[in-house]
Amino acid sequence: GNGPLSAFKTALADGCGLDLTLVDYQEHAIGTGADAAAAAYVEIEAADRSVHWGVGLHPNIVTASFHALLSAINRSETS
Protein backbone atom coordinates (compact mmCIF):
# COMPACT_ATOMS: atom_id res chain seq x y z
CA GLY A 1 0.00 0.00 0.00
CA ASN A 2 0.86 3.67 -0.17
CA GLY A 3 -0.43 4.95 3.16
CA PRO A 4 1.11 5.73 6.53
CA LEU A 5 0.73 2.16 7.84
CA SER A 6 2.57 0.74 4.84
CA ALA A 7 5.34 3.30 5.25
CA PHE A 8 5.63 2.51 8.97
CA LYS A 9 5.79 -1.23 8.23
CA THR A 10 8.51 -0.67 5.63
CA ALA A 11 10.52 1.52 8.01
CA LEU A 12 10.30 -1.09 10.77
CA ALA A 13 11.17 -3.92 8.38
CA ASP A 14 14.16 -2.06 6.93
CA GLY A 15 15.38 -0.51 10.17
CA CYS A 16 14.92 -3.56 12.39
CA GLY A 17 15.49 -6.33 9.87
CA LEU A 18 11.95 -7.66 10.17
CA ASP A 19 10.59 -9.94 7.46
CA LEU A 20 6.82 -9.61 7.61
CA THR A 21 3.84 -9.19 5.34
CA LEU A 22 0.82 -7.08 6.18
CA VAL A 23 -2.03 -9.45 5.30
CA ASP A 24 -5.13 -7.60 6.46
CA TYR A 25 -6.14 -4.27 7.98
CA GLN A 26 -9.51 -3.20 9.36
CA GLU A 27 -10.63 -0.12 11.26
CA HIS A 28 -13.74 1.29 12.85
CA ALA A 29 -14.86 4.01 15.24
CA ILE A 30 -15.77 3.39 18.86
CA GLY A 31 -18.26 5.96 20.05
CA THR A 32 -19.44 9.10 18.30
CA GLY A 33 -18.54 12.73 18.03
CA ALA A 34 -15.52 14.32 19.68
CA ASP A 35 -15.22 11.44 22.16
CA ALA A 36 -14.90 8.78 19.46
CA ALA A 37 -11.85 6.55 19.41
CA ALA A 38 -10.46 4.54 16.53
CA ALA A 39 -9.90 0.79 16.66
CA ALA A 40 -7.47 -0.73 14.19
CA TYR A 41 -6.82 -4.43 13.60
CA VAL A 42 -3.92 -5.86 11.61
CA GLU A 43 -2.94 -9.35 10.56
CA ILE A 44 0.69 -10.04 9.68
CA GLU A 45 2.55 -13.05 8.39
CA ALA A 46 6.06 -13.53 9.77
CA ALA A 47 9.02 -15.03 7.91
CA ASP A 48 8.23 -18.47 9.35
CA ARG A 49 4.71 -18.16 7.83
CA SER A 50 3.10 -17.83 11.27
CA VAL A 51 0.15 -15.44 11.43
CA HIS A 52 -0.31 -12.86 14.19
CA TRP A 53 -2.99 -10.29 14.99
CA GLY A 54 -2.67 -6.92 16.68
CA VAL A 55 -5.16 -4.33 17.89
CA GLY A 56 -4.65 -0.63 18.50
CA LEU A 57 -6.96 1.93 20.11
CA HIS A 58 -6.40 5.68 19.93
CA PRO A 59 -8.35 8.84 19.09
CA ASN A 60 -6.22 9.16 15.92
CA ILE A 61 -6.69 6.34 13.38
CA VAL A 62 -3.11 6.51 12.11
CA THR A 63 -1.75 6.16 15.65
CA ALA A 64 -4.22 3.32 16.33
CA SER A 65 -2.94 1.58 13.18
CA PHE A 66 0.68 1.95 14.29
CA HIS A 67 -0.19 0.54 17.72
CA ALA A 68 -1.95 -2.42 16.07
CA LEU A 69 1.06 -3.20 13.90
CA LEU A 70 3.43 -2.99 16.88
CA SER A 71 1.10 -5.26 18.85
CA ALA A 72 1.14 -7.87 16.07
CA ILE A 73 4.93 -7.66 15.77
CA ASN A 74 5.32 -8.08 19.54
CA ARG A 75 3.12 -11.16 19.39
CA SER A 76 5.21 -12.60 16.57
CA GLU A 77 8.42 -12.03 18.52
CA THR A 78 7.12 -13.70 21.70
CA SER A 79 5.51 -16.78 20.19
Domains of the chain: 4-78 (3.30.160.270)
H or E element, residue 71: helix 61-78
Instruction: For residues 71 and 2, give the distance between their C-alpha atoms in angstroms, rounded to a whole number.
Output: 21
Q: Is the pTM of this model over 0.85?
A: yes
Spans of the chain, pLDDT less than 70: none
pLDDT of residue 77: 85
Left (φ > 0), alpha (ψ -120 to 50) or beta: where does 31 sit? left
